[in-house]
Amino acid sequence: MRYIIIGSGAVGGSIGGRLHESGRSVVLVARGAHFEALRDNGLRLKVPTGTLTLDVPVAARPEDVELREDDVLVLAVKTQDTVAALDTWAARPVAGGGTAGERLPLVCAQNGVENERLALRRFREVYGMCVVLPSTYLNPGEVVAPCGPYTGALVIGRYGTGPDATARRIADDLEKACFLAPVVTDVMRWKYGKLLGNLANVVEAVCGSASDAAARDLVARAQAEGAAVLDAAGIAYASEAEITELRSGTVDPQPIAGERTRGSSWQSLARGAGSIETDYLNGEIVLLGREHGVPTPVNATLQHAARESVSREPGSLTADELSRRIAAIQRATPGPAT
């Protein structure tokens, strides 16, 4: 199989780079300065054992890739960019007839839980992937993946129907490319568990760090609120202990000199990307809370703060300021009728 990596930043670049290094056929799809750097100098993938310079084929547009019947599309863009990517790629012709949406498998290697539903409207074969892959993309042509002995854990399963032969073939390729790749029947349970962890992303992004006591308290409150919402909605999710066990001793941080791993939302603000994925992380909890009658003042405040900070550098707000905003919302919200 050949892997078309749609969005070759931190996650996509790590997956595509490792697959290419292991001998798999890969095409990276990127834009702007990142595309130019990849085209001219190859992918610089920094891992604990050193820096790999990988001459991976790269394309700037879907039109630059002639799709084949053995292709697998790996979607690694942020959720706010998913619809545009899906609409473009689903209609692309495949050699021998038909379109990508009709004939090719699509893997959602993304945070959040909305991408698979969006994809299934356009693609017959959709695979969820719970991505446990600390990595950073800040400079064109360069991705830092600082974990070992495995680069990451990528839990995969066909969306809606569980594992199948294609999922197992993809997992086998990933296992040969320095990833853990368990194939599961309930991939969305893992993705909902990861969603709770990702509620911290916005705190790190807007506060600059999530390590001080006030920020840690804010994260804990957001995650407790998220768990209460998922419980009320009857949605199963992998526990923090399960995710920790998955990566313990296998996907461990191994510091790389001069590099510090940051969350994906922090990276979006630092790169000046102009958008942030919070509407599909904390915003997912807010949506479900409204549907099931569970108040979500913490996640709603964080969602609003992300929108406010999208054109700023990381660290534009403090955790104390966010806590004051949450308290103001709680004071203004009427209690239940008696």
pLDDT tens, residue by residue, 59-92: 999 999 999 999 999 999 999 999 999 999 999 9
Is the model more confident about 335 or about 193?
Answer: 193
Residue 331: band (very low, low, confident or very high) from pLDDT cuts 50, 70, 90:
confident
CA distance 45 to 58: 15
At residue 335, the pLDDT reads 62
Residues contacting residue 211 through CB under 8 Å, at least 6 positions apart: none
At residue 163, the pLDDT reads 85
Q: Which amino acid is at 199?
A: L
Q: What tokens appear for 173 in the block?
A: 């390729």
Give the tens place of pLDDT for each residue, 206-237. 999 998 999 999 999 999 999 999 999 999 99
The answer on pLDDT for 19 being more than 50 is yes
Residue 336: band (very low, low, confident or very high) from pLDDT cuts 50, 70, 90:
low
State the average pLDDT for the chain. 96
**Global confidence as pTM:** 0.95
* Among 54, 150, 166, residue whose Cα is nearest residue 105: 166
Q: Torsion over CA of 86, 243, 286 and 11, rounded to 10 degrees?
A: -30
Give the tens place of pLDDT for each residue, 152-208. 999 999 999 878 999 999 999 999 999 999 999 999 999 999 999 999 999 999 999
Beta carbons of 140 and 34 less than 8 angstroms apart: yes
pLDDT, average across residues 35-41: 98
Beta carbons of 111 and 134 less than 8 angstroms apart: no
Look-up of token digits 């919200």: 333
Beta carbons of 202 and 281 less than 8 angstroms apart: yes
- % of residues, the chain, pLDDT over 70: 99
